[in-house]
Amino acid sequence: MRIGIARISQETNTFSPMLTDLDTLSAHGIARGPDVLLDQDEWSFIPAFLEVVGHEEPVGILSVHARPSGPLTAEALHTILEWFVTDLESALPLDGLLFAMHGAFAGLSDPDVEGLFLKRARAMVGPDTLIAAAMDLHGNITRRKIENADIIRGFHTHPHVDGPQTARRVAEMLLAALRNEVRPVMSAVKIPMITPAETQLTEEWPMKELMDLTRSQEQDPRVLSSSIFAVQPWLDVPEMGWCSVVVTDGDKRLAEQLARELASKAWEQRQEYIRPCPTYIQALDQAFATDLRPVVISDLADLMTGGGTGDSTWYLKELLARNPTEPCFLTMVDPEVVHEMARLGPGARATFELGGKQDRLHSTPVRVTGEVVRVLPPSSDRKLPADVGWAAVLQVGTISIVVLERLGPGSTPDIYSGAGLDPTQAKILIAKSVVDFREGYKGVARLFLLGEAPGLAPSNLRTLRWEQVPRPIFPLDDEVPWDSARAEVMYSRGGTVKYLR
């Protein structure tokens, strides 16, 4: 069987001023045709897809992805859609099509980029080709996604540790359907709610109870998949909101019943996700008051894993004011400064206006004087990801700052160790992540803390200026009447597909 494989993926923060363009996508790697099957990126589902369908005839289509940032430009969307159409056309005919997607990819000219690609794919492959998509727990499910795919499944973990498992399961469902062993029918219920990301840990209540319900539903042999999509919360788009998605083996009524059950449980617990978040001052107070080290603090409103610009200066300002006696590590995205550090070279001592240049709404540059300890040009022999571009280490007293040309991984200590620093020797490590850092730093941290400073990804969602989300919606509005039993259900094509195998 010929099975197409494509990756169209980004977690967009529509409040970010850093637009995603072709240069951004190119920095993260664009692959077309057979090269798609060589994609070994850490967050790629493609290796897991190939574990399942590699013995068939996999056909690479297109792979475009980027780290979380602002919306995709209209020009970039037009170009990558043209590439997709050209490459998919040359790959036809296909029996099945597997998509690796995040689910929250938004553009300036279309708020549902992945839905657009699914719709275009369906128009090209026709009604007899099965389409399946693996997505992140924070995908935003739209009518266009549901109506043009046969199978959609999301992660069951946050921190996200089951990406490969999710991809394998999606590929297995696709193969089973192609062999006429199952007939996937999908139902979805949108829930008028958005919630802060930091309260969505799947091993803690209430999210754990919700995920336990999805697993319980999947114990029924008639159920192929059960997912709850808790959505990227900094996404101002028309079909915004949580969503339950259930895929059954030919039983549309059961899929609807279980999707409603899952949606009802999420809605019932909605208030439990809204909790006060400590400030960055409180987090630093707690960190310096404990004998534990290292303490990893989440600079959650500037997370590089959810669309922050990575150049907030609030923690840097406070650390400079406190003049700590123990080592403290943080990162800063500042292409201007890192290029100047590269020009000066290691050993140089200089003064820089650092950070606060991308997100000018929430922070301002800080004047710092320090020593350029290390410069790391883009190369294959360094341990930092290639897509961060140039990197350098600036030492200001006991504060080590890893300065980056572009956004990097905010959830692992690799951002420090890859720059030649030893994370275990720090008193405080600042992570640009809200939940996944608990997984990335679990072998290093003695204590995890949250500390919110002003930024593009706040815990209090009411502080943002929303213009497109459907209203009323929880928690932006005080009164949100909703009943899962009366909610509209979105359906996939269900039994209309003509199975080929």
Task: State the residue for tokens 């996404």.
Answer: 235
Strands 428-431 and 399-404: unpaired
Q: What is the pLDDT of residue 494?
A: 61
The per-residue pLDDT for 488 is: 95
- pLDDT at 159 (0 to 100): 96
pTM score, whole prediction: 0.95
Say what the pLDDT of residue 500 is: 32
Taking only the tens place, the pLDDT of each residue in 191-236 is 999 999 999 999 999 999 999 999 999 999 999 999 999 999 999 9
Name residues of the chain where pLDDT drops below 50: 495-501
**Token duo for residue 187:** 């139902």
Give the torsion through C-alpha atoms of 181, 168, 132, 163, to 10 deg: 150
> Residue 429, class by beta-carbon neighbours within 10 Å (0-12 exposed, 13-18 middle, 19+ buried)?
buried
Residues near 457 by beta carbon (within 8 Å), at least 6 away in sequence:
13, 15, 197, 233, 234, 300, 301, 302, 303, 306, 307, 308, 434
Count CA atoms closer than 13 A to 472's CA, side-chain side: 9
Whole-angstrom distance, CA of residue 355 vs CA of residue 361: 12
Query: What pLDDT does residue 41 have?
Result: 82
What 3-state DSSP class applies to 429? strand
pLDDT tens-place string over residues 214-226: 999 999 999 999 9
Residue 440 backbone phi and psi in degrees, to 5 = -65, -35
Amino acid (1-letter code) at residue 236: D
Of 88, 124, 138, the closest CA to residue 242 belongs to 138
- DSSP result, 379-427: -TTSSS-GGG-SEEEEEETTEEEEEESS----SSTHHHHTTT--GGG-S
Determine the pLDDT at residue 499: 34
Q: Determine the Cα–Cα distance for residues 205 and 209; give it in Å rounded to an integer.
A: 6
CB proximity list for 171: less than 8 A, separation 6 or greater: 48, 49, 51, 52, 53, 98, 132
